Structure 1
Amino acid sequence: MTIEDSSEDSRYEAVSSRDARFDGVFFFAVSTTGIYCRPSCPAITPKRRNVSFYRTAAAAQGAGFRACRRCRPDAVPGSAEWNARADVVGRAMRLIGDGVVDREGVAGLAGRLGYSARQVQRQLNAELGAGPIALARAQRGHTARVLLQTTTMQAAEIAFAAGFASVRQFNDTIREIYAATPSELRSARPGRNSRFGPVAPENGAAAGVPLRLAHRGPYAAVEVFDYLGRRAVPGIEELVGERGSRIYRRTLRLPGGSGVAEISEQPGQGGWLECRLHLADLRDLTTATQRMRRLFDLDADPCAVAERLGTDPALAPLVAARPGLRAPGTADPHELAVRAVLGEGVSVAAGRRLGGALVAAYGEPLCEPSGGLTHLFPRVEALAAAALTEVDIPGARRATLRTLTAALARGAPVLDPGADRDETELQLLALPGIGPWTAGYIRMRALGDPDVLLTGDASIRAGMRRVGASTADAQEWRPWSSYAMHHFWNLP
Structure 2
Amino acid sequence: MDEDSRYEAVRSRDGRFDGAFFFAVGTTGIYCRPSCPAVTPKRRNVRFFATAAAAQGAGFRACRRCRPDAVPGSAEWNVRADVVGRAMRLIADGVVDREGVAGLAARLGYSARQVQRQLTGELGAGPVALARAQRAHTARVLLQTTGLPITEIAFAAGFASVRQFNDTVRAVYAMTPTALRATAPGGGRAAARRTATPAAGIPVRLAHRGPYQPRPVFDLLEHEAVPGVEDVTGAPGARTYRRTLRLPYGIGVTAVDERPGTTRTGSAAHPGGWLDARIHLTDLRDLTTAVQRLRRLFDLDADPYAVDERLGADARLAPLVAARPGLRSPGTADPEEPAVRALVGREEAARLVQRYGKRLDAPCDGLTHLFPEPAVLAEAEPGGTLGALTAALADGTVRLDPGADRDDTADALRAVPGLDARTIAEIRTRALGDPDAAPPGPELPGSWRPWRSYALNHLRAAGELEYR
- TM > 0.5 fold call: yes
Q: CA deviation at 1:256?
A: 0.5
Aligned to 2:377: 383
CA distance in 2, matches of 1:205, 1:374: 18
Instruction: Please state whether the residue corresponding to 1:29 is helix, strand or coil.
Output: strand
Aligned to 1:29: 24
Contact 1:83 1:94 in 2 (8 A): yes
Contact 2:208 2:273 in 1 (8 A): yes
Q: CA deviation at 1:412?
A: 1.1
Within 5 Å, give how 1:33-432 maps onto structure 2: 33-190=28-185, 201-202=194-195, 204-266=197-259, 268=262, 271-342=273-344, 351-387=345-381, 399-432=384-417
Deviations 1:430-481 (A, max 9, x none): 110111111111111101111111133xxxx6xxxxxxxxx362x1111111
Q: CA deviation at 1:202?
A: 4.8
Q: CA deviation at 1:200?
A: 6.1
CA distance in 2, matches of 1:198, 1:231: 38
Of 437, 455, 467 in structure 2, the residue corresponding to residue 452 of structure 1 is: 437
Q: CA deviation at 1:189?
A: 0.6
Q: CA deviation at 1:36?
A: 0.2
Q: Label 1:227 to 1:70 Cα distance change in 2 as closer, same or farther (>3 A).
A: same
Q: CA deviation at 1:414?
A: 1.0
* Counterpart residue type for residue 297 of structure 1: D
Of 415, 418, 426 in structure 2, the residue corresponding to residue 441 of structure 1 is: 426
* Counterpart residue type for residue 371 of structure 1: D
Overall identity of the aligned pairs, in %:
68
Instruction: Please state whether the residue corresponding to 1:190 is helix, strand or coil.
Output: coil
TM-score, normalisation: structure 1: 0.90
1:14 aligns with 2:9: yes
CA RMSD of aligned residues (A): 1.6
* Counterpart residue type for residue 11 of structure 2: S
Farther off after superposition, 171-180 or 410-419: 410-419
Farther off after superposition, 482-491 or 113-122: 482-491
CA distance in 1, matches of 2:438, 2:304: 18
TM-score, normalisation: structure 2: 0.94
Task: List alignment gaps of at least 5 residues for structure 2.
Answer: 264-271, 464-468
CA distance in 1, matches of 2:244, 2:117: 38
Deviations 1:280-330 (A, max 9, x none): 110000111000000000000101000011111111111111111100000
CA distance in 1, matches of 2:46, 2:104: 33
Contact 2:147 2:191 in 1 (8 A): no
* Counterpart residue type for residue 291 of structure 2: T
Instruction: Please state whether the residue corresponding to 2:13 is helix, strand or coil.
Output: coil
Contact 2:148 2:195 in 1 (8 A): no
Task: List alignment gaps of at least 5 residues for structure 1.
Answer: 1-5, 343-350, 389-397, 462-470
CA distance in 1, matches of 2:198, 2:10: 38
Contact 2:421 2:440 in 1 (8 A): no
Deviations 1:30-57 (A, max 9, x none): 0010000000111111111111110000
Instruction: Please state whether the residue corresponding to 1:145 is helix, strand or coil.
Output: helix
Aligned to 1:465: none
Equivalent pairs counted in the alignment come to 452
* Counterpart residue type for residue 262 of structure 1: A
* Counterpart residue type for residue 334 of structure 1: E
CA distance in 2, matches of 1:204, 1:423: 41
